Amino acid sequence: MRTLEVSVPPESAGERLDRFAADRTGLSRSYVQRLIAEGHVVLDGAPTKANAIVAGGSVLRVEVPDPTPLQLEAEEIPLQVVYEDDDLLIVDKPSGLVVHPAPGHAGGTLVNALLARDTTYGGIAGVQRPGIVHRLDRDTSGLLMVAKDDRAQASLMAQLKARRVKKTYLALVLGAVEAPVGRIEAPIGRDPRNRLKRAVTSDGQPATTGYRVRERLPGWTFLEVDLVTGRTHQIRVHMAALGHPVAGDILYGTGTARKGPDGLGRLFLHAWRLELQSPADGHLIRAVAPLPADLEEVLAGLRARGAALDGLPTPGRIGR
């Protein structure tokens, strides 16, 4: 058990207790609410509620229980480690790999692969998600951070919450995106007609996505996409709402977008670059995962098609 003690500054007076505690400790708000319900949070020495209002000068005491021993099995699943230090791993997750166990996926996940490594992980996100601070959809490939202890996990979660982690994706989308640079600001919530999907809704959570055109191809546009917020399926929802669904997206795409260009066998979405601050000393960490070979082949096919239509020599790969 470790204990966190925080004094409420005057400028925070009037805030909800769960929100204040999450902001000041780096713990997720849902985890703080669970700790409150279990009696691990006291305000000025007395039990409290999640919706209590804090007053300036009050003292908040949060007890974080030691992680419960995992009931998960380690599995020797190959992992490509892009960056590693004493605080964190950054791995390049392949498409098709589920991040953490869930109903229907008790094994064969990234978490099972992580447990086969000789290291420990942060436990504040729950025993089924050791070290996990964010996730990628099963069909999305690319970079994912994993914390090696609670301190690093709290730091990374706080950076994500404060939007200090820069996440850039590569995506192929249907049609010709008109503006070379754009920004989508549209709230995202659960789709009222399909609970498996998200949608742009008036009462959804704020969501912001930036994009830049990297290459124009016959019938498609290759984009760099900045994920400013991190809502579920955000890029897929925003691009579909813009009229340019991601290639190979069987959930949000229809017709041509759903199938994708010739040779595409999965979602064309890749977490390409991460920039964050070291949990230890704050120095900048930058990691890059090159576009996987299967997606490069799809682009090469589109470039060849474009060159044939123009009667020009086939262009080579555009490096970046």
**Active-site positions?**
137
Kindly list the distances between the CA atom of residue 282 and the CA atoms of 24, 156, 319, in Å, as whole numbers in the listed order. 18, 11, 30
Structure tokens at 183: 């920004």
Residue 25, classed as helix, strand or coil, is helix
The DSSP secondary structure of 51-83, one letter per residue, reads: TPBP-TT-EEEEEEPPPPPP-PPP-----EEEE
Residue 157, classed as helix, strand or coil, is helix
Q: Which H/E stretch holds residue 224?
A: strand 220-227
Buried b or exposed e, range 235-273, using 16+ CB within 10 angstroms: bbbbbbbbebbbbbbebbbeeebeebbeebebbbbbbbb
What φ, ψ does residue 294 adopt, rounded to 5°? -65, -35
Residue 101, classed as helix, strand or coil, is coil
Kindly list the distances between the CA atom of residue 99 and the CA atoms of 137, 208, 281, 294, in Å, as whole numbers in the listed order. 8, 24, 28, 21
Q: CB of 88 within 8 A of CB of 146?
A: yes
> In DSSP terms, which residues pair with 173 in a beta bridge?
221, 246
